[in-house]
Copies of this chain bind each other. A is one copy, B any other.
């Protein structure tokens, strides 16, 4: 199911292949979001044309609308969104809890851009059984617990289901985090029990490591999750700290406790430097709203570490700029040759086309980056390639990077 091809001698990095019910995922891989059964501004099938093997759907949003029963009735999520490759579904835990907890974790993980509308829901209660909350769509009371989440994911028919967890926020104290993490482990077992009895054929389950930023809680959560042999893979979730240094310290503690043979997913992380560091730490798959979200906000990924790899085309400085989106970029959006002035104008005119073009560019940028990182691991050049990315090399310039 998961086979490791090459191990990097200087880090935890590895390349491999994840064999899933709907096909193979070349790892390490970035997984674009198809949160609401669509990659925002694109058709889902365009993710394949961009070179992605898998997309991520969202249990919470699809549960609320159009409803998992309807999607099942229409043949499942693959058929609904016309995508015959692998799908991983988030469990809904993060979304349910992000309505009730503060936004600190969101900010750190770059997930703060959920619309105001999506935040107008509210948690009504968190019990051992699960969570009651108010739907952000119609205000009705909804309940989601481990079994609900697995039932929804079974109906969706995703290749990988994630267990239902509490995503503990950064500002939670140690005691809350400890209690929450223990409950998450009990929920993990309930998810596995439900899945063993009712899970659809071919669907595998990933556990989620929580534990906040306390080393002992993180390590013990990782050990607990790793101990469940039924899990097809392990995801790392929750608050990962207040800055990137702490985030990767937390990830490293976790990785050290995880069995090497099972695939690892890092939830909600996808900045350019984070992908490089994550690969070095042995992460196999990543998902993140960043490339699609910043595209809709007028930003394009560029190889500029000092500007967090992004340029804001809505800024007035691009009004008359006859330079391309990104010189030398081989993506289809750049190939069209639009000037920054044109994209700036379209953004100001609120023309959707700009958001689409930037989304295409940003996803292509990350896809090429991941492909180059895979090649680098396979060819023993990861250290040189990672250094080149960090010093501002473009993805298509990495093929020749050597120590």
Contacts and interface: CB of A to CB of B under 8 A. Distances in A.
A274 interface: no
- Chain A binding surface, main DSSP class: loop
A293 to B, nearest CB: 13
A392 interface: no
B82 A36 contact: no
Interface string A305-332: 0000000000000011010000000000
A37 B352 contact: no
Contact of A351 (B38, B339, B346, B351): B38
A169 to B, nearest CB: 27
A319 B66 contact: yes
Contact of A40 (B36, B353, B357): B353
A45 interface: yes
Contact of A341 (B74, B345, B346): B74
B74 A41 contact: no
A265 to B, nearest CB: 25
Given A43-B357, A339-B74, A37 B345 contact: yes
Q: How large is the interface on A (under 10, 10 to 19, 20 to 34, 35 or more residues)?
A: 35 or more
A40 B74 contact: no
Contacts of A104: none
A356 interface: yes
Contacts of A36: 349, 351
A45 B336 contact: yes
A114 interface: no
Interface string A355-384: 111000000000000000000000000000
A74 to B, nearest CB: 6
